Copies of this chain bind each other. A is one copy, B any other.
Amino acid sequence: MSSSAPLSAETIKNFMYASTATVSMQMLKRGFRNCAVSGVRPLNPNAARLVGPAFTLRYIPSREDLDKPPSPSDPPNAQRTAIEESPAGCVLVIATESNTRSGTLGDILALRLKARGIAGVLTDGAMRDTPVIGKFDFPVYCAAAAAPPSMANLRPVEVQTPVGIRGVPVYPGDIIVADEDGAIVVPRHLADEVARDSFEQERLEKFVAIRVGQGHPITGTYPPNDETKTLYQAWIKAGEPAGG
């Protein structure tokens, strides 16, 4: 399957089932130690789960003579392109070099993204209008809140180039999986297998958690020994969901 093909429903389902903690372990097993974006949080903890391919937007610091309050006669720019032309289902990844002095987006642009079917937003910068966005049923991960409009400190320069988000590389099309532990960046060509193995690991750990909650010690339970594995298989047969 080509790496630019849309994500399959199974892969999305598998990633949605797994936690980022689990996806991160699957990445470590494949040799990736630098794929977790930390220091970002969902503005609405009740709308935290986020899965989708990255559409990148890159900002640089603003310049006093170039970056002014918006007017209807402004020419199109990279931010506008990202807002209106990113594909439904994607995650808008906004790279600011961790500049949190301005908001990258406010409530109106976030609402437009939501209306267009974008899966969510991930930025190493700030958002503005966070009291409003924090009530949207729309996952927005950011490093801070900041009132100033973007052009006070930031300027959009390009879309769909590779960027860094808090020290983690993000290429257009990479899969973003996020929850309250942060966001994991999965290279597109590994998405299906990482999703599948994450589902399986998550399901096993769900069973392990039940066992530990019943008072079993860690040894033998986690990682599971043969006895635990047998019990796990029986538990699956008793009705736990199958992966994609």
Contacts and interface: CB of A to CB of B under 8 A. Distances in A.
Contacts of A134: 180
Nearest to A43: B180
Interface residues of A, number: 88
A147 B212 contact: no
A162 B60 contact: yes
Given A147-B24, A149-B24, A115 B212 contact: yes
A169 B61 contact: yes
Interface in A66-90: 69-72, 74, 80, 83-84
Nearest to A205: B108
Instruction: Give the oligomeric copy count.
Output: 6
A64 B218 contact: no
Contacts of A181: 103, 128-131, 145-147
B32 A83 contact: no
Nearest to A42: B131
Given A98-B97, A145-B181, A152-B24, A60 B163 contact: yes
Nearest to A39: B144
Contacts of A239: none
Nearest to A26: B69
Contacts of A231: none
A28 B112 contact: no
A151 B29 CA distance: 11
A157 interface: yes
Leading 6 A-B pairs by shortest Cβ distance: A20-B147, A147-B181, A24-B147, A60-B164, A21-B128, A24-B148
